[in-house]
Structure 1
């Protein structure tokens, strides 16, 4: 099985907007920023021989994200919250840049990074897959996750005892997020089932509650978070240790930015910041 998107195991322990709306910056063309002064005690990273990073907007590190995937990214009272959002801010701070987030549906993030002109990188619970590696560069991974499938708690047809078989049935509909590895996992493991894709993962859970789908498939960290919150009337019937590695996606034309962010991720791992970010968001 291919490693694919999103068990709560931090990699630090394993190895050391409305469409395209930008929050906090204008839609200017890409520019080159001569890195500003880094924050105190954070260090700095020069990604090229002359110390310059090619950025969407000078002085700002703009991440494309789909904020419907707690505990990694979510919008609460207009504020971007979650593990990825805190990580993005920490990386930008390390590089002496302002962190900016722009909303893009998940299945549009990789195409947007490839096309350019909207963000510097994609940070949205994106798993490294061979298919994605053909389109973008990835930073070093910062988190490992697995896959899970949930159904309504009163569903007696699909249970923990028979899930693997019962889900692979042409009478079963599985809700997924478009373009996610949850969709890939469902297609690979339950090929006889019908797949019902949604741009937002929250809508996939709502579809199960509404009777539009029998099950929802996605990354375990997010499924666990959803079931602990608004969707407590659903429960997990199957998990799979897919060992998916989350990383930040960057244009193949911008390897210097990957190098700079890798330096930041390494520093944040070494000083314990990454572990702290994970603990704060997974509690």
Structure 2
């Protein structure tokens, strides 16, 4: 049985959305972290400066905690598929788990390469040119894009039905790349598109009827529509793959990859995914959705999300 993340949308936004809003005020390296939480950081990057463990035997971790079921905040703690995956991989690879940083998704690559942390586990797709900036592990999850709508609102059956609607997506993600493709194909116009720094803000705008639709990763879309007046209208097949990211000069990636491969082979990863997604969530290819269940093919793949900071 999958974990039940969000009883209702407002509870979800109170838990995660507040963290996302806080992250908007503090850009990496701007000298302010954008929130008043006692996170053990004060440099605006989500990087621990509290004298935590460091050195070659320690791997410092980072994610974007606004993307259930892969990473989200529950009672001030990071939980999710990526959180459990990263910690298990680090330990199996023979390293010590360092501090966690939780920052905006769009800043993860920049701050990784600035040596603010060592490994990113954030449902990050191996596309959008990221492979030229970081070293990726072997992929561990595959998903598609989904178009989310209000159950009581517009009901598009395919991409052509999005014409004239206000559509949102999280900036710097594969979801945004799909919207940009629709603009290039003249299904949408620039004026139809509303980019959001945080995924939760896009979901809230959809629920509040500011938007007609939101493009999001399928697995995450299914998670946030569960039990609320939102549903997946149709799927855009992209077949994008998530992987862990490290700096290109970090030789520890070989050990991380070996540990990840071991988890995939011995069933540990399957068990982890089942905890958060249910027994049918192993591959991320779940085509049973709450909406019209229409599927659109798109062979271009792209990537993913988010904000704030927390240390354990």
Question: Which of 240, 264, 269 matches 2:259?
Answer: 264
CA displacement, residues 116-138 of structure 1 (integer Å, 9 cap, x when unaligned): 23111221100011511111111
Counterpart position of 1:13 = none
SS at match of 1:211: coil
Q: TM-score, normalised by structure 2?
A: 0.69
Aligned length: 231
Pairing 1:250–2:246 present? yes
Q: 1:21 aligns with which of 46, 49, 53?
A: 46
Label 1:198 to 1:28 Cα distance change in 2 as closer, same or farther (>3 A).
farther
User: 1:72 & 1:190 partners in 2: Cα distance?
Assistant: 29
Partner of 1:186: 179
Q: CA deviation at 1:99?
A: 4.3
Shift, 1:251, TM fit: 1.3
SS of match in other structure, 1:62:
strand
Which aligned segments of 4 or more residues in structure 1 are displaced greater than 4 angstroms? Answer: 27-31
Against the structure 1 CA distance between its residues 270 and 126, is the aligned structure 2 distance closer, same or farther, given a 3 Å change threshold?
A: same
* 1:32 CA displacement: 3.6
Shift of 1:20: 2.2
- Work out whether residues 52 and 98 of structure 2, in 8 Å CA contact, stay in contact via their aligned partners in 1: no
**SS at structure 2 position matched to 1:240:** strand
Q: Answer whether contact 2:170 2:196 (CA < 8 A) is retained.
A: yes
State the partner residue of 1:96. Answer: 95
* Aligned partner of residue 270 in structure 2, secondary structure: helix
Deviations 1:101-158 (A, max 9, x none): 10110111112123x23111221100011511111111101111111001111224x4
Structure ranking higher in strand proportion: 1
Q: SS of the residue aligned with 2:129?
A: helix
5+ residue gaps in structure 1?
A: 1-16, 36-58
- State the match for 1:111 in structure 2: 110
8 A contact 1:27–1:118 mirrored in 2: no
Contact 2:54 2:98 in 1 (8 A): no
Instruction: Judge conservation of contact 2:62–2:100 (CA < 8 Å) in 1.
Output: yes
Contact 2:169 2:202 in 1 (8 A): yes
Matches of 2:76 and 2:183 in 1, distance apart?
37
Residue 71 (structure 1) aligns with: 69
